[in-house]
Structure 1
Amino acid sequence: MLQEAHWGSFSLVEAERRLLANALLDWSNERFVLLSESCIPLFNFTTVYNYLVGSSMTFVEVYDLPGPVGRGRYNQQMRPTVWPKQWRKGSQWFEMDRALALEVVSDRTYSSVFRRFCRGSCYGDEHYLPTFVNINFGWRNSNRTLTWVDWSGAGPHPRRFIRTGVNVGLLERLRSGTKCQYNGQTTNVCFLFARKFLPNTLDRLLRFAPEVMKFN
């Protein structure tokens, strides 16, 4: 049966959980990545696969944000399941292992509370998974996302890249311009994907891919 999902509502989280549930049916699936139609890979398949399978951590962005678009979205009615000090925010574009995916799909306690009390400007897709992971599995989560996005502009949405904005310098910066931790070691490979790239960027991406991203 077709079930609609609406931007900004908890139906997005429910759609993500259904996607995970279906992916879990294949026992060969070890890692699970949520991407959008505007995401691009920054490395070839072998590099992405080895990075994910070789990681001892999951990659769910989790952070505490003061102010109205962070802590201000917390609903006091969520207590005692979720306390204010446990409330977190993060990107919905996650990567997780099979163990965490099973926990997310089987969760009834936290999803029920979010479904009831995270409405309107709460935006459950930005808070449910970060809060759930923070409370229960923070010790094995990296607290960062693998999907790069440009929030440097004003407004509620990230920058959208058009054809003229794509060049070799941009792609190289996204591939190695940041420092982070991977399996306890410092690395400059922090993002495997990037968004938001419009369809008209495809020709340039295909042109640069063999040289920059090592695609064959």
Structure 2
Amino acid sequence: MKIAYLVMAHAVDEQLRLLIDRLLEDSRSSVYIHMDRKTADLKWLDSESRPNLHILRNREIVNWGGFSIVRATQNLLRMAVRDPKNERFVLLSGSCFPLLPSPALGDALLAAPACVAVWGKIDASLSRNEGLGRYVVTKAHPLDVTFINPKRGPLRDRLWNMFKAINNRLPYERRVEIDDLWKGSQFFVFDRALALTCSYPPNELVTTLRHALAPDEIFFTTLFVRRQREAGNRLTMTGPGAHVQGRHFIRKQTPMRRTWRQRLAGTVDLRRLTANDLAEVLVSDALFTRKCTPDISRAIIEAADARYHSSRGEVAKDWASFGKGKDSA
């Protein structure tokens, strides 16, 4: 059995190289890279020649909050399911990083069931275009128009917030079915059956979510929930503010201080890890963490490898305890 790591990246940088190198330390790993088509020069990535590293050529222009994220993820899934040995499919970003050494990580993923952090069901009675409100789906959100996407700069961010406020009050809604839509984290660990379902989903779901706000948070979560229900499995909810989302640790905190220059320059990344976060990250239930810099990734490698090997040089064997805040046996 093999593990397919699906990496959605926006930059060919040192952090991406560290991630690829770490994942490919396990012979059971294959890494599939989708590089945002806005990044024209693939640099060293274009000349990498490793049997388990696959670079997608049918690249999408990926825009924050748009359906282009779903299409790019599906392209990764469709490529990965071609290998019949792939049994786990793990979605990552280029700034994610594993919290375990590769052998322990692979064992944990192959032993664990499919996983998505489910926040809740889209509420048909909630007239809002945020959270679980139905306007997230029933209003049109033109986020795949790259020029106006709020992540393109501070001015566009302010214009987008104005548009959202106006859009929320306009007397229209798209006629789509929202009775069985679920929202959660976009990062998943899927088994092969779920990967195939998401690669070739029902047409009605594509039509419903094509103009939704952050449809990747709904598309994959909905298919996961429907599959769990069909299998008779219990569904566990996760609060959107929880630090552990599925198999990912995601730090969400507002900076204590911001200069006037920072306030005027635009939005602040509230999820980027710092060295002060590492102690909490490394004893969490997560297998991966988000928003790493190269320095943080190297610190994780050092700490994880030291924990993996006992003081006597013995390799820890209790993979189930790794990443769960317990000492290894």
- Shorter chain as denominator, the TM-score bin is 0.7 to 0.9
Give the partner amino acid of 2:191.
D
3-state SS, counterpart of residue 83 of structure 2 = coil
* Structure 1 gap ranges (5+): 175-189
Matching residue of 1:147: 248
Choose 11-20 or 137-146, whichever is displaced more. Answer: 137-146
* 2:240 pairs with 1:128: no
CA distance in 1, matches of 2:60, 2:291: 25
Correspondence list, 1:38-53, <5 A: 38-53=95-110
Give the partner amino acid of 1:165.
N
Choose 18-27 or 61-70, whichever is displaced more. Answer: 61-70
Q: Out of 71, 78, 90, which is 2:132 matched to?
A: 71
Matching residue of 1:185: none
CA distance in 1, matches of 2:294, 2:98: 14
Q: TM-score, normalised by structure 2?
A: 0.51
Q: How many residues align?
A: 191
Q: Verify the 8 A CA contact 1:41 1:192 in the aligned structure 2.
A: yes
Q: Out of 252, 273, 276, which is 1:161 matched to?
A: 273
Q: CA deviation at 1:210?
A: 2.1
Give the partner amino acid of 2:221.
P
* 2:112 pairs with 1:36: no
Pair 1:104–1:148, CA change in 2 (3 A) = same
Pair 1:201–1:156, CA change in 2 (3 A) = closer
Pair 1:71–1:157, CA change in 2 (3 A) = farther
* 2:193 pairs with 1:99: yes
Give the partner amino acid of 1:99.
A
Q: Verify the 8 A CA contact 1:166 1:204 in the aligned structure 2.
A: no
3-state SS, counterpart of residue 96 of structure 1 = strand
Matching residue of 2:111: 54
Q: TM-score, normalised by structure 1?
A: 0.75
* Structure 2 gap ranges (5+): 1-57, 139-172, 238-244, 256-266, 316-329
The structure carrying a bigger helix percent of its residues is 1
Q: CA deviation at 1:213?
A: 4.6
Q: CA deviation at 1:97?
A: 0.2
Q: Verify the 8 A CA contact 2:253 2:271 in the aligned structure 1.
A: yes
Pair 1:130–1:157, CA change in 2 (3 A) = farther
Pair 1:203–1:98, CA change in 2 (3 A) = closer
Q: Out of 287, 294, 297, which is 1:192 matched to?
A: 287
CA distance in 2, matches of 1:31, 1:203: 25
Matching residue of 2:53: none
Correspondence list, 1:83-94, <5 A: 83=179, 86-94=180-188
Q: CA deviation at 1:156?
A: 8.7
* 2:204 pairs with 1:109: yes
Q: Verify the 8 A CA contact 1:4 1:11 in the aligned structure 2.
A: yes
CA distance in 1, matches of 2:137, 2:305: 46
Pair 1:214–1:166, CA change in 2 (3 A) = farther
CA distance in 1, matches of 2:104, 2:226: 31
Identity %: 26
Q: CA deviation at 1:136?
A: 4.2
CA distance in 1, matches of 2:206, 2:176: 14
* 2:227 pairs with 1:170: no
Give the partner amino acid of 1:172.
L
Matching residue of 1:207: 302
Choose 44-53 or 6-15, whichever is displaced more. Answer: 44-53
Pair 1:130–1:39, CA change in 2 (3 A) = same
Q: Verify the 8 A CA contact 1:43 1:214 in the aligned structure 2.
A: no
3-state SS, counterpart of residue 116 of structure 2 = coil
